[in-house]
């Protein structure tokens, strides 16, 4: 089945970027749905800002920007968003009960041929798929932040995901200009976060134990491992709350090897979440 229309559920940090890539690169018609008008307005504002940056860099024309915006159709109505969509990409907060309740509703309104995907970074694909009547049509489609610039999508099989579903999602990802990897089992953290989160957590332990400053840890990893961004800066970009929630999922399934650093918990309790709150390990208010 060829994908022509996409529904993106959630216009937030990841959702707006996924909608933009779908419309700009793949040239899909996109229904962008969120629960409140203020979230929709914020998401569309971020899309316009991102497209304008591409225009100012000369990588996108004004005409292409307007055509892209014309392909994105914001809505508050879930039924309207998914009824005619070939591919549905859910990008709502990392809360299993919230996700399952949305998927139960989507299952009622989506056409029989629709493919269901979640952009979750840590929640079980199998468990989400169980909230629908068609788990064979459900898989993970994990984009990386920001979706407009990051070239990878992790495709994640649930226990009942069919080969056909994986093929449809891989073809859609390719049309969006992305490379894909296949996580053959529904395992917490999938591929990237299973490797990355323990490394980030260990960097926090280095700060917690007074072994090095955040600046020197970032410098060491950038120059010593050739990372484009140091781990402490990356934590502030990802959000310390997001990192903690992934760490807790990993610990629950794999044991204390993945135990979150006490400093991470303390900073989340204090609301020091990184760029999105203005302060994390670094002060972003001045930047």
Domain boundary among 154, 183, 212: 183
pLDDT (tens digit, 9 = 90+) per residue, 119-172? 998 889 999 999 999 999 999 999 998 899 999 999 999 999 999 999 999 999
Residues 203, 151 share a domain: no
What is the residue range of 256's domain?
193-277
- For residue 231, what pLDDT is reported? 98
Partner residues linked to 118 by β-bridges:
90, 140
Instruction: Evaluate whether residue 282 is within a structural domain.
Output: no
Alpha helices in 92-213 (DSSP H): 96-109, 125-129, 163-175, 192-208
Residues 98, 157 share a domain: yes
- In the set 122, 154, 201, 245, the catalytic residue is 154
Q: For residue 192, what pLDDT band results from cuts at 50, 70 and 90?
A: very high
Radius of gyration in angstroms for the set of CA atoms belonging to the chain, rounded to a whole number: 19
Q: For all residues of the chain together, what is the average pLDDT?
A: 95
Domain boundary among 149, 183, 217: 183
**286 pLDDT exceeds 80?**
no
Active site residue 56: no
Residues 271, 172 share a domain: no
Residues 210, 119 share a domain: no
- In the set 119, 124, 193, 245, the catalytic residue is 193
Q: For residue 287, what pLDDT band results from cuts at 50, 70 and 90?
A: low
- For residue 121, what pLDDT is reported? 85
Active site residue 121: yes
Nearest by Cα to 199 from 230, 163, 166: 230
Give the chain's domain count.
Answer: 2
Residues 171, 210 share a domain: no
- In the set 121, 122, 124, 245, the catalytic residue is 121
Residues 144, 10 share a domain: yes
The CA-based diameter of the chain, rounded to the nearest angstrom, is 56
Q: Output the CA angle 12-10-49, nearest 5 degrees.
A: 40
- Whether 68 and 23 have beta carbons less than 8 Å apart is answered as yes
Q: For residue 249, what pLDDT band results from cuts at 50, 70 and 90?
A: confident
CA dihedral sign of residues 94, 133, 110, 78: negative
**264 pLDDT exceeds 70?**
yes
Nearest by Cα to 183 from 124, 248, 242: 124
Instruction: Evaluate whether residue 286 is within a structural domain.
Output: no
Active site residue 248: no
Mean pLDDT computed over 215-239: 96
- For residue 62, what pLDDT is reported? 94
- In the set 124, 142, 201, 245, the catalytic residue is 142
Mean pLDDT computed over 90-95: 91
Q: Order of strands across the sheet with 115-118?
A: 72-75, 29-33, 5-9, 87-90, 115-118, 138-143, 152-157, 179-183
pLDDT (tens digit, 9 = 90+) per residue, 47-60? 999 999 999 999 99
Instruction: Evaluate whether residue 120 is within a structural domain.
Output: yes
Q: For residue 31, what pLDDT band results from cuts at 50, 70 and 90?
A: very high
Active site residue 73: no
Q: Residue 216 belongs to a domain with what CATH number?
A: 1.10.1040.10
Instruction: Evaluate whether residue 284 is within a structural domain.
Output: no
**276 pLDDT exceeds 70?**
yes
Residues 266, 162 share a domain: no
């Amino acid at each position: 089945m060829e994908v022509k229309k996409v529904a993106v559920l959630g216009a937030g940090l990841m959702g707006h970027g996924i909608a933009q890539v779908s419309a700009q690169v793949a040239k899909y018609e996109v229904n962008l749905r969120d629960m409140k008008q203020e979230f929709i307005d914020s998401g569309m504002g971020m899309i316009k800002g991102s497209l304008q940056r591409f225009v100012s860099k000369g990588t996108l024309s004004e005409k292409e920007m307007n055509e892209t915006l014309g392909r994105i159709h914001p809505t508050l109505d879930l039924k309207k968003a998914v009824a005619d969509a070939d591919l549905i990409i859910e990008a709502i907060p990392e809360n299993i009960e919230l996700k399952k309740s949305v998927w139960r509703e989507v299952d009622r309104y989506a056409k029989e041929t629709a493919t269901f995907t979640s952009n979750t970074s840590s929640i079980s694909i199998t468990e989400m798929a169980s909230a629908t009547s068609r788990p064979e049509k459900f898989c993970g489609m994990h984009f990386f932040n920001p979706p407009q610039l990051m070239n990878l999508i992790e495709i994640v099989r649930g226990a009942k995901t069919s080969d056909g579903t994986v093929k449809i999602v891989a073809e859609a990802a390719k049309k969006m200009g992305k490379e894909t990897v296949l996580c053959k089992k529904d395992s917490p953290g999938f591929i990237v976060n299973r490797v990355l989160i323990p490394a980030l957590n260990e960097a926090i332990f280095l700060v917690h134990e007074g072994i090095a400053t955040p600046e020197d840890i970032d410098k060491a990893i950038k120059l010593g491992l050739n990372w484009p961004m140091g781990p402490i800066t990356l934590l502030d970009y990802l959000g310390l709350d997001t990192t903690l929630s992934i760490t807790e999922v990993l610990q629950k399934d794999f044991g204390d090897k993945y135990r979150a650093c006490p400093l991470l918990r303390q900073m989340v309790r204090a609301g020091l979440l990184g760029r999105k709150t203005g302060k994390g390990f670094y002060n972003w208010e001045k930047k």
